[in-house]
């Protein structure tokens, strides 16, 4: 399986058939509409057709505005009357006729949104009013003991009447200073306090103005302003609280009205999806080249579906011209992949890195088995694998996910199966629970033989890196660059294998013949690399120097292989955490009341271990593909195939 061949489509239709043609294309879901510029259209034609395009853009903007209104309405309903849905609830099934009916009657539904907008404006106004009222209460509470109408805080002919504050830290010294004046012509009352200040009511005779002013200045007495208030502070507080109660009753009534309007939620959701479908269609319209009577559409369709696509349109529209062409040799086209069901989920992993370009091999077929294997080794627990497999399978069957969510679930499902396999091979069953119950590993226990496990991981790395080099060699041969495959991959195979045989033969004592063969291969590979890796240089000295310098790439190879030690590290982490959870459960379970607590520890602990190590396995398995594997051959940079299709959020469309 590989990159799907594409056909270039040129379609010419009459304006009166445009809507029908686009709806048919959208229902088929297999044509990506390209702009005329992307297909090499003449720039001069754009100026002639600018008016038609701007009108289409205005229609698109109007529908996008309506979509925003519907989204607002749904958000407001969900805020005050959220929908209670089950974990495995599925989307309702509708047909395109129902979406069309809702779209045609959208003005009636949008009127409900306008009412919701009015109600939200009222709620916002109430919130602002409540803020003002609460500020008034906060302002008045420190003065609640003042039993004088605030409107009467005015001087008389002979006295000064003041209300003000000083720092709470200076209250006692302030009172002592007033007392030390020894004058009966001043009255002072201490009231409440704020966080940092204490409030006072002061009346004094004007004859001692200078003496009082000195004390006020010393303690930074700040006169309070009660402009706009007339009654006593306590009366103002009570009146304000009554207003708050009325505001709350009004708020409750408005929320009830919003809740009552929630009976149109389904219509709003249908309209949202209908508008989403229409927006996609209008965006396609914006990429058309139009005259008053005709339009031109250009795009791409998978080659195997091209004839069916063409025939379907001709059956539904009488006056239409469709031309199907192969892309030019140097022409880029959108990339769609077709793979075995086992391979398809792993396309998501590659897409997170880059989309393959149209002229290179699809890496997923080779990558998928390695990814699943590494995922299983990193998780490395058969018990976890069983739980994850059941959970992933149940999720796929019940939730029926689509797109990348479906692919991610598929990756986890396949990885879970490999987790079970490698867990059984290495004896991992919920940490060390397998050992406790007498279940022995099929091969060996990595925690008991770490060197053997590390060697196995490095061997996996060598095979993985060699596979990447092999894909590059295959691509070179397929494109007719046989010498490149021999010099750039074949000689490196000889060199690397020679080093491996040389080292293994010497370290493991496997015989002089193996060691000698490794030496010969290493020397032969090195000589070949020195002579060929600089072949693109013009100067003979540059050729030799470049070839000799290429031998330094062996450090990159060693670095790549060492990266596979993460297989051991993550697998060991899974087992250690699982074992610790078992030990904790056993400690509390020894008591007569500890079984419930032990069960909770085991469920939560192992659940946490599964989740955190699943994330680690996904990330690090991806990293090994992106850096160590794809770095050997993958170019990427392609543009993913995005056909015009029916896209919804709240519903699924019946086929």
pLDDT band at 55 (very low <50, low <70, confident <90, very high): low
Query: Which residues, in sequence order, are CB contacts of 640 under 8 Å at separation 6+?
Result: 334, 335, 336, 351, 355
Q: What is the pLDDT of residue 480?
A: 92
Q: Is the pLDDT assigned to residue 37 strictly greater than 70?
A: no
Q: What is the pLDDT of residue 44?
A: 46
Q: Which two tokens stand for residue 248?
A: 């709350």
Q: What is the pLDDT of residue 542?
A: 87
Q: Which of 81, 122, 92 is nearest to 267 (CA)?
A: 92
For helices 18-28 and 303-316, what crossing angle results, to 10°?
140
* Coil, strand or helix at 429: strand
Cross-strand partners of 34: 298
Q: Is the pLDDT assigned to residue 204 strictly greater than 60?
A: yes
* Coil, strand or helix at 342: coil
**In terms of pTM, does the model score above 0.85?**
no
- Positions of E strands within 194-283: 197-205, 222-223
Q: What is the pLDDT of residue 51?
A: 42
Query: Which residues, in sequence order, are CB contacts of 57 under 8 Å at separation 6+?
Result: 286
- Whole-angstrom distance, CA of residue 540 vs CA of residue 535: 9
* Coil, strand or helix at 188: strand
| Contact criterion met (CB below 8 Å) for 99 and 277 | yes
Q: What is the pLDDT of residue 88?
A: 67
CA dist 547 → 92, 499, 529, 531 (Å): 64, 18, 6, 6
Which residue is it, tokens 């009013």? 129
Which of 358-362, 395-399, 505-509 has the least mean pLDDT? 505-509
Q: Is the pLDDT assigned to residue 305 strictly greater than 90?
A: yes
Q: Is the pLDDT assigned to residue 46 strictly greater than 60?
A: no
- Reported as a single tens digit per residue, the pLDDT across 397-419 is 988 888 899 999 999 999 999 99
Which of 85-94, 188-197, 412-421 has the least mean pLDDT? 85-94
- Whole-angstrom distance, CA of residue 563 vs CA of residue 479: 31
- Cα 577 to chain centroid, rounded: 28
pLDDT band at 527 (very low <50, low <70, confident <90, very high): very high
Mean of the pLDDT values across residues 15-44?
81
Cross-strand partners of 14: 294
Mean of the pLDDT values across residues 93-115?
92
Region label for 298, one of left (φ > 0), alpha (ψ between -120 and 50) or beta (otherwise): beta
Q: Is the pLDDT assigned to residue 53 strictly greater than 60?
A: no
| Contact criterion met (CB below 8 Å) for 191 and 142 | yes
Q: Is the pLDDT assigned to residue 582 strictly greater than 60?
A: yes
Total residue length of the chain: 655
Q: DSSP of 20-73, one letter per residue?
A: HHHHHHHHHT--EEE-TTTTT--HHHHHHTHHHHHHHHHHHHHHHHHHHHHHHH
| Contact criterion met (CB below 8 Å) for 280 and 648 | no
Question: What does residue 510 show for φ and ψ, rounded to 5 degrees?
Answer: -90, 5
Helices and strands, number each (H, E), in the chain: 23, 11
Q: Is the pLDDT assigned to residue 50 strictly greater than 70?
A: no
Average pLDDT across the chain, whole number: 91
Q: Is the pLDDT assigned to residue 113 strictly greater than 80?
A: yes
Q: What is the pLDDT of residue 83?
A: 84
- Whole-angstrom distance, CA of residue 200 vs CA of residue 193: 9
pLDDT band at 535 (very low <50, low <70, confident <90, very high): confident
Compute the CA torsion angle 558, 559, 560, 563 (nearest 10 deg).
120
pLDDT band at 48 (very low <50, low <70, confident <90, very high): very low
Q: What is the pLDDT of residue 56?
A: 65
- Whole-angstrom distance, CA of residue 296 vs CA of residue 322: 10
- Whole-angstrom distance, CA of residue 233 vs CA of residue 231: 6
Q: How many CB atoms lie within 10 A of CB 593?
A: 8
Which one is the CATH code of 154-225: 3.30.200.20, 1.10.357.10, 3.30.70.2750, 3.50.50.60?
3.30.70.2750
| Contact criterion met (CB below 8 Å) for 349 and 336 | no
- Whole-angstrom distance, CA of residue 372 vs CA of residue 411: 8
CATH 3.30.70.2750 domain span(s) along the chain: 154-225
- Reported as a single tens digit per residue, the pLDDT across 422-448 is 999 999 999 999 988 889 999 999 999
Mean of the pLDDT values across residues 103-126?
95
Mean of the pLDDT values across residues 592-602?
84
% residues pLDDT > 70 (the chain): 94
Determine the longest span between alpha carbons in the chain, in angstroms.
122
């Amino acid at each position: 399986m590989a990159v799907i061949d594409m056909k270039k489509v040129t379609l010419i239709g009459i304006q009166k058939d445009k809507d029908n043609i686009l709806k048919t294309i959208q229902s088929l879901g297999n044509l990506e509409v390209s702009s005329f510029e992307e297909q090499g259209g003449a720039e001069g034609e754009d100026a002639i057709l600018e008016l038609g395009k701007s009108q289409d853009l205005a229609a698109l903007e109007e529908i996008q505005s309506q979509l925003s209104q519907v989204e607002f309405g749904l958000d407001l309903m969900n805020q005050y009357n959220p929908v209670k849905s089950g974990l495995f609830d599925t989307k309702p099934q509708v047909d395109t006729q129902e979406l069309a009916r809702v779209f045609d009657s959208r003005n009636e539904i949008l009127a409900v949104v306008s009412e919701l907008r009015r109600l939200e404006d009222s709620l916002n106004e109430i919130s602002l009013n409540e803020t003002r009222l609460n500020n008034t209460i906060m302002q008045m509470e420190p003065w609640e003991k003042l039993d004088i109408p605030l409107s009467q805080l005015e001087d008389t002919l002979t006295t000064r009447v003041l209300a003000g504050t000083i720092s709470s830290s200076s209250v006692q010294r302030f009172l002592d200073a007033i007392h030390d004046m020894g004058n009966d012509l001043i009255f002072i009352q201490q009231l409440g306090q704020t966080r940092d200040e204490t409030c006072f009511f002061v009346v004094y005779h004007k004859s001692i103005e200078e003496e009082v002013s000195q004390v006020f200045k010393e303690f930074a007495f700040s006169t309070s302003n009660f402009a706009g208030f007339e009654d006593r502070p306590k009366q103002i507080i009570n009146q304000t609280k009554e207003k708050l109660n009325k505001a709350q009753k009004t708020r409750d009534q408005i929320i009830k009205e919003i809740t009552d309007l929630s009976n149109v939620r389904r219509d709003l959701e249908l309209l949202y999806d209908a508008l989403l479908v229409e927006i996609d269609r209008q965006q396609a319209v914006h990429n058309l080249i139009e005259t008053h009577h005709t339009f031109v559409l250009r795009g791409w369709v998978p080659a195997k579906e091209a004839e069916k696509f063409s025939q379907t349109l001709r059956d539904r529209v009488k006056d239409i011209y469709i031309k199907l062409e192969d892309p030019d040799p140097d022409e880029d086209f959108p990339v769609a992949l077709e793979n075995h069901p086992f391979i398809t989920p792993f396309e998501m992993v590659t897409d997170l890195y880059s989309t393959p370009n149209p002229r290179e091999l699809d890496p997923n077929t080779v990558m998928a088995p390695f990814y699943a294997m590494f995922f299983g080794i990193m998780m490395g627990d058969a018990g976890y694998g069983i739980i994850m497999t059941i959970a992933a399978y149940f999720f796929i069957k019940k939730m029926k996910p689509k797109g990348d969510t479906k692919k991610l679930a598929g990756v986890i499902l396949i990885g879970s199966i490999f987790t079970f396999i490698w867990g059984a091979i290495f004896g991992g069953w919920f940490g060390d629970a397998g050992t406790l119950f007498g279940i022995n590993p099929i091969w060996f226990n990595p925690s008991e033989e770490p060197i053997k496990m590390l060697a196995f991981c490095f061997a996996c790395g060598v095979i993985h890196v060699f596979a990447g080099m092999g894909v590059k060699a295959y691509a070179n041969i397929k494109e007719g660059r046989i010498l490149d495959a021999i010099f750039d991959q074949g000689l490196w195979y000889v060199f690397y294998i020679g080093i491996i045989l040389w080292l293994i033969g010497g370290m493991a004592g496997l015989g002089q013949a193996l060691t000698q063969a490794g030496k010969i291969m290493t020397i032969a590979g090195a000589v070949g690399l020195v002579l060929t890796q600089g072949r693109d240089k013009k100067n003979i000295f540059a050729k030799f120097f470049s070839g000799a310098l290429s031998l330094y790439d062996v450090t990159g190879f060693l670095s790549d292989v060492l990266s596979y030690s993460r297989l051991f590290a993550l697998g060991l982490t899974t087992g250690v955490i699982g074992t610790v959870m078992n030990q904790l459960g056993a400690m509390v379970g020894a008591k007569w009341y500890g079984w419930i607590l032990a069960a909770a520890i085991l469920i939560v602990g192992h659940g946490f271990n599964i989740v955190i190590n699943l994330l680690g396995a996904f990330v690090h398995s991806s990293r090994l593909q992106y850096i160590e594997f794809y770095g050997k051959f993958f170019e990427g940079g392609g543009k993913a195939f995005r056909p015009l299709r029916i896209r919804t959020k709240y519903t699924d469309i019946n086929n």
